[in-house]
Amino acid sequence: MGRRVSCAAILLIACILMVACGSRPTATPPPSPPIRAPTSTATLTQTPTSTATITSTPTPTIPPTPRPTDTPTITPTPTPTATSIPTPTPTRIPPRPQAQGPLQVHPSNPRYFADGSGKAIYLTGSHNWHNLQDISMSDPPRVFDYDGYLDFMEQRNHNFMRMWRWEMPKYKYDSFPDFAYCSPHPWERTGPGVAGDGKPKFDLTRLDQAYFDRLRSRVIAAQERGIYVSVMLFEGHAMRKATYGWFSHPFHVDNNVNGIDGDLDGDGDPDVVSANRDMNSLTIFRNPGSDFQTSRRNQRRAF
């Protein structure tokens, strides 16, 4: 009996299991996969960095307000440097008509000159001591810019110059720091012998063609600019006013090969001879031998 119960129990249990297996079981959700932390590479790829954000919307920088105790920054002012200021070039005026000469006294108004056509001419100009001969305190003297001189006069509508002639090859005024040298001169320096300035003596019978070629070309150049020229043959200023000068003059007896002596009374100073063509006469002006002349004579002899 006991064995039958056990079998019956086993059958009952089997039936229960069969019923259980035959019924629809409730679905159980699968377990969620584990969540892994994103790597740094994925984060940089998906999320824009802070650098990109700053670039697109820059934040203005506001300087701090200085406190009263702050020392202000002083910017030094640059020291100005000396710079050469270019001289403006004057505008060249249209060329003027050539000077029509020679000039003569105006027939109805003697206060004016008249040109070759009889037109009254008002003369005005700018003087330069070097417009014929080259003069400077160097030997040979510095060459004078004659074309620049003509430009200066033409730009200012000047129409007259005195073409100055110096007689002394070497001379010195009291105001000069050193001797001045002058060339060319009307006569050739052929020698033999040495003049007071250390160069060959003059031959007063032989004219230096280069001197007269220069004189002629400069007068023509002035005429083409509408400028009248007064030509000097002698000057006499340095003979009477220069402290040293007569020692180098071509008419000093020691400076020419012809025996010409401009010191007629032998007092060491030159004498001036004036010729009057209308009166057909010669006038000789001898130096008076005053204290001033005696002082100059002693200075020359000391030299």
Place 72 in a pLDDT band, splitting at 50, 70 and 90. Answer: low
Looking at residues 224-246, what average pLDDT do you find?
88
User: CA gyration radius for the chain?
Assistant: 57
Looking at residues 57-66, what average pLDDT do you find?
56
Looking at residues 45-71, what average pLDDT do you find?
50
Q: Would you say the C-alpha torsion 213, 217, 223, 228 has a positive or negative sign?
A: negative
Does 53 score more than 50 pLDDT?
no
Comparing CA positions, the residue from 126, 131, 108 lying closest to residue 118 is: 108
For tokens 């100059």, name the residue.
296
- Residue-wise pLDDT for 101-139, tens only, equals 789 999 999 999 999 888 999 999 999 999 999 999 999
- Residue-wise pLDDT for 88-97, tens only, equals 665 555 667 7
Three-state DSSP class for residue 216: helix
Comparing CA positions, the residue from 183, 200, 180 lying closest to residue 191 is: 200
Identify the pLDDT of residue 92: 56
Looking at residues 223-244, what average pLDDT do you find?
88
Does 193 score more than 60 pLDDT?
yes
Residues 289 and 294: their CA atoms lie apart, in Å, by 6
For tokens 């100009």, name the residue.
125
Listed range (167-171, 208-212, 269-273, 297-301) with the worst mean pLDDT: 297-301
Identify the pLDDT of residue 134: 97
Identify the pLDDT of residue 123: 93
Determine phi and psi for 161, rounding to 5 degrees.
Answer: -140, 150
Identify the pLDDT of residue 49: 45
**Bigger pLDDT: 290 or 150?**
150
Share of the chain above pLDDT 70, in %: 60
Does 15 score more than 80 pLDDT?
no
Identify the pLDDT of residue 79: 59
Place 7 in a pLDDT band, splitting at 50, 70 and 90. Answer: low
Identify the pLDDT of residue 205: 96
Determine phi and psi for 158, rounding to 5 degrees.
Answer: -80, 150
Q: Give the CA dihedral 45, 50, 53, 59, nearest 10 degrees.
A: -170
- Residue-wise pLDDT for 130-182, tens only, equals 999 999 999 999 999 999 999 999 999 999 999 999 999 999 999 999 999 99
- Residue-wise pLDDT for 19-33, tens only, equals 444 444 444 444 555
